[in-house]
Structure 1
Amino acid sequence: MRSPEWQKSSYSAANNECVEVRTVAGAIELRESDEGHTILRTTPTTLAALLHGLKAGEFDHHA
């Protein structure tokens, strides 16, 4: 069975410095394009909560 294709943002253009995403067996996998061997696996619910927190500025004090 072939693995699902990695997708990257259209904002990345030809630049190879981006986060790529794919779904596998109901989970979400993320990786940085230049560190393809390191994969973060999470659930859709957890990723949605993270994205919501990022958009709401909950982590801005870490910058």
Structure 2
Amino acid sequence: MLEQRWQKSSSSTQDGGNSVEVAQNADGMIEIRESDDPGSVVVTTPKKFALWLEGVKRGEFDHFCDDAG
């Protein structure tokens, strides 16, 4: 079995303490976790993840960020 390859944003801190990571599992589902709590994983479909990313790009979730302008 291949080890899952987690990916994080290049703007995340590299010490692993301030990152959200994303991977695709063997079933094709998208898994999301925080690097400082790798045991807690949210699983969703690629389609739902793509729709959420579109909302992020449009700024629909900016009000959740402390530093959002």
TM range (shorter): 0.7 to 0.9
Q: Corresponding residue for 1:35? A: 37
Q: Which runs of 5+ in 1 are unaligned?
A: none
Counterpart amino acid of 2:33? R
The CA distance in 2 between the partners of 1:39 and 1:29, in whole Å, is 6
Q: Corresponding residue for 2:8? A: 8
The structure with the largest helix share of the pair is 1
The CA distance in 1 between the partners of 2:14 and 2:59, in whole Å, is 29
The CA distance in 2 between the partners of 1:27 and 1:5, in whole Å, is 13
Q: How does 1:14-29 map to 2 (within 5 A)?
A: 14-16=14-16, 17-24=18-25, 25-29=27-31
Shift of 1:11: 1.7
Q: After TM superposition, what 4+ stretches of structure 1 lie above 4 angstroms from structure 2?
A: 60-63
The CA distance in 1 between the partners of 2:44 and 2:63, in whole Å, is 24
Cα RMSD, aligned residues only: 1.9
> How many equivalent residue pairs?
63
Q: TM-score, normalised by structure 2?
A: 0.72
The C-alpha deviation readout for 1:10-38, integer Å capped at 9, x for no partner, is 22242321011111121111100001110
Helix, strand or coil for the counterpart of 2:11?
A: helix
